[in-house]
Amino acid sequence: MSSTNELQQTIADMVDDHRGILAADESLPTIEKRFEAINVTATEANRCAYRSLLLATPGLGEYISGVILFEETLGQTDENQIPLPKTAKAQKIVPGVKVDKGKGPLAGAPGDLITYGLDGLENRLEEYKKQGARFAKWREVYPITQHNPTPLGRQANAEMLARYAAVCQEAGLVPIVEPEVLMDGDHDIGRCATVTELVLHAVFHALHRHGISFEHMILKPNMVLPGKGCRLAEPREVAEATLRVLSRTVPAAVPSINFLSGGQEPEEATANLNAINQMKGNAPWQLSISYGRALQQPALQAWQGKPENREKAQQALLRRARLNSLARQGKYDPSMENEDD
């Protein structure tokens, strides 16, 4: 199969009108924090047990089409010695992998950050592909201050995303391109809209320069939201601002926009997604999710690191996935949060 055919098949398997992507790719420091909150030690065995229960949730494939895995998860097996990527595939969930290597300060642009991991990426992708990965994900982050992101920061981060995407498509893996404008700060929704528009313009100019096939990528952006130190915005306000920015920046050829949750509470992220889909009109893209904490938080709270809570945790994940599937279709209502499944 040619790389173009591989890419197209992966897009066909991941993009539809009711499912989304589960982000289960937390780095070691991040999952340590998540586990610490429920008094669980983040040993490899515990990480494997938790991610195994997520992927084995009965019926999850009805609402989730792809899962982003941390590198170690590709090589882990469940209690029956079945590789975890195969557990996902059994539910028609496409396995993928986070390939960036964390972030640090960007020289020459105080306050801006840059992500590491391009060195050796081609060889790593070959190995990930052998382990079952069919797509990859790379995240660049953009703090908002009075001066950030700087023009250099926007350009440098866009270039990294484009170089990563080019390597992925050559290897036959669909790239998820994730430029995240952070919620940290007290900026209002208008400032976030301005920055997000500038960021996405830079990203798509870079992707075009590098010859990326827009039909064979997925965009994972932030919604347009006020900073955590500002007042909350109503879902309609978030939807209007987000759709306005996307319509100005994202080519129609991109098949799917899968929002990150970016620090939103689970119910908030679902309500905002629902409003976006209710207001999308004739938008050319699917508007879906690639949520991490906003999908997993209820499952983590239910699990508490105890094997006897496995089914309870799976039910919590499935419920959150189902509600987001309804939001994908503009059919969610907050009153559903109080209904028994």
Report d(CA 93, CA 63) in Å as an integer.
9
Identify the active-site residue in 220, 240, 268, 280: 220
Identify the active-site residue in 26, 140, 159, 178: 178
**Angle at 61 (CA atoms; ends 299, 294), nearest 5 degrees:** 35
Q: Is 337 left (phi over 0), alpha (psi -120 to 50) or beta?
A: alpha
Instruction: Report the chain's terminal Cα–Cα distance, integer Å.
Output: 43
For residue 58, whether the previous peptide bond is cis, meaning omega lies within 30 degrees of 0, is no
Report d(CA 249, CA 266) in Å as an integer.
27
In sequence order, the 6+-apart residues with CB closer than 8 A to the CB of 266 are: 293, 294, 295, 297, 298, 320
- Give residue 102's identity as a one-letter amino acid code: G
Per DSSP, the three-state class of 114 is: strand
Active-site residue flag, 312: no
Per DSSP, the three-state class of 221 is: coil
Strand partners, 141: 180
Question: Which one-letter DSSP state was computed for residue 101?
Answer: -
Element (DSSP H or E) covering residue 241: helix 235-249
Per DSSP, the three-state class of 37 is: coil
96, 135 Cβ separation under 8 angstroms: yes
Active-site residue flag, 234: no
- CB atoms near residue 227 (< 10 Å): 18
- Residues identified as active-site: 178, 220
